[in-house]
Amino acid sequence: MSSSLSSVLDAVRKGTPVVLLDNPQREGEADLILHAKFCTPQNIRLLRISAGGLVCLGTDTASAQALGVPYAADILRESRSPTLRALALGKAPYGDPSAFSIWINHKKTFTGITDQDRSKTIMEFEKMIDGAENEKQMASAFIQNFYSPGHVPLLIARSLEERKGHTELCLSLAKQAGMSPAMVMCEMLGEDWKALEWKKAQALAKKMGWPAVQGEEII
């Protein structure tokens, strides 16, 4: 049984992890998510141990446009390299265009991959998004404090009318919770080398005291 939307939004506001299933007919995968404001080194470790997938940072279209950051597929399509243009993804096997943009590090990280470094990158990104007074200030702060390539993949949410993936669902939760548009998500993987089954993801959520919700209950 899924948790109520109100309990999920309360968890987002408090920095409690949430287990989110997109749609059984889409990816059919559960992600462990939380707001970027609370992505401490301890929570980065929690994500990689309890979920095990790629730790990603999602933001909304408006913020990405303010930063001047495009989708990775668009960067490849506009490349001078025929190989890169040929590699540009149209739609993923599950039917949607990719949400991936560039990979970033904060300039005050070392390698960028440690729990401390990824936490720094993610939390500073959220501070920048939340604290900027206007688009120009946000873009300037981004260039001044971050670089690419890095170790944190940035995802850009489309509208829920265009796409109903984890990225869009996460950013919808952030908006409904009254939080800044910066959410962290990590795919939950099983011991069978596949995505963790929803029932097992729910069981883990119950054990840990995390709310669990399906995408259709958010929209």
pLDDT at residue number 93? 78
pLDDT at residue number 38? 99
Q: Residues 49-60: pLDDT tens digits? A: 999 999 999 999
Instruction: Name which of 3-7, 84-88, 193-197 the model is least confident about.
Output: 3-7
Catalytic residue list: 31, 56, 94, 105, 151, 187
User: Domain extents for the chain?
Assistant: 5-217
Write the CATH number of the domain with boundaries 5-217: 3.90.870.10
Q: Residues 129-149: pLDDT tens digits? A: 999 999 999 999 999 999 999
pLDDT at residue number 177? 97
- pTM: predicted TM-score of the whole model, two decimal places: 0.94
pLDDT at residue number 95? 73
Say what the alpha-carbon torsion angle 15, 42, 72, 146 is, to the nearest 10 degrees: 100
pLDDT at residue number 25? 63
Residues contacting 110, CB < 8 A, separation 6+: 117
Between the alpha carbon of residue 175 and those of residues 124, 128, 180, 217, the distances in Å are 19, 17, 7, 15
